Structure 1
Amino acid sequence: MKQKLMWIAWPSFLMAGVLELLVFAVIDPQDMSWFGHAFELSRQATYTLGFFVFWFVTSLAGALTLFLSLPPNAVNQSPL
Structure 2
Amino acid sequence: MSTPTRFTVRALCILWPSFLMAGVLEMLVFSLVDPSSLQWFGGAPLEWSASAVYTVAFFVFWAVISTAGALTQMLVTTPADDEHAPVGRSAPRWPN
Range into which the TM-score falls when normalised by the shorter chain: 0.7 to 0.9
**1:66 pairs with 2:73:** yes
Shift of 1:52: 0.3
Q: How does 1:39-78 map to 2 (within 5 A)?
A: 39-71=46-78, 73=79
Shift of 1:37: 1.3
Which has the larger Rg? 2
In 1, the alpha carbon distance for the partners of 2:49 and 2:69 equals 30
In 2, the alpha carbon distance for the partners of 1:37 and 1:65 equals 37
The aligned amino acid for 1:20 is E
**Structure 2 length-normalised TM:** 0.73
Partner of 1:32: 38
**1:19 pairs with 2:22:** no
Q: Which has the higher contact order (CA 8 A, sep 6+)?
A: 1
Computed over aligned residues only, the root mean square deviation of the Cα atoms, in angstroms, reads: 1.4
Whichever structure has more helix as a proportion of its residues is 1
In 1, the alpha carbon distance for the partners of 2:50 and 2:76 equals 39
Count the aligned residue pairs: 74
User: What percent of counterpart residues are identical?
Assistant: 53
The aligned amino acid for 1:57 is V
User: 1:20-77: CA deviations, max 9, x gaps?
Assistant: 0000000000011012111011000000000000000000000000000012x36xxx
The aligned amino acid for 1:58 is I
- Show structure 1 runs of 5+ residues with no match: 75-80
